[in-house]
Structure 1
Amino acid sequence: MSGEHEYSATRRTKRVHRRVVLKGTENFDADGVKLEPSDKQTASQRSDDDDRRILGELPPHWAVFSEKD
């Protein structure tokens, strides 16, 4: 280490922050670079999946009040 960056309890000014960058550890995924399973779905498949997900999240008693014959 150089003399100016060593620890000193009597220092009155802050040390300059040095950014640490580790090459190759980036978790960035640009849109369109990686093909995901949802990219291969048609609009109707996506709609069906949304319906299934929403109905699965509803409380169990919801269907009792919504079905009127």
Structure 2
Amino acid sequence: TNALVAGLVPARRRGLYTGWFGVAFGTASVAGPLVGGLFVGLPGLGWRWCFLGVVPVALAAALLVRLAPHRAP
């Protein structure tokens, strides 16, 4: 969120990071229903596959969090 960006990013770079956050949010808002509709519309796949598609994304996010360097506050 913007509060997270404001707390972690220096003031002179907040606009850039807020912009990228907006791009990611907008892209996900459009791509999510499209990919979900694709899963539901394919033969042999049903609506349950929409939920299973989140698993690789969650695993990748967990790996990135684990590999990220820890910075003390």
Tell me which interval the TM-score lies in, with the shorter structure as reference length: under 0.3
- Structure richer in helix, relative to its length: 2
TM score, norm. by length of structure 2: 0.25
Larger radius of gyration: 1
TM score, norm. by length of structure 1: 0.26
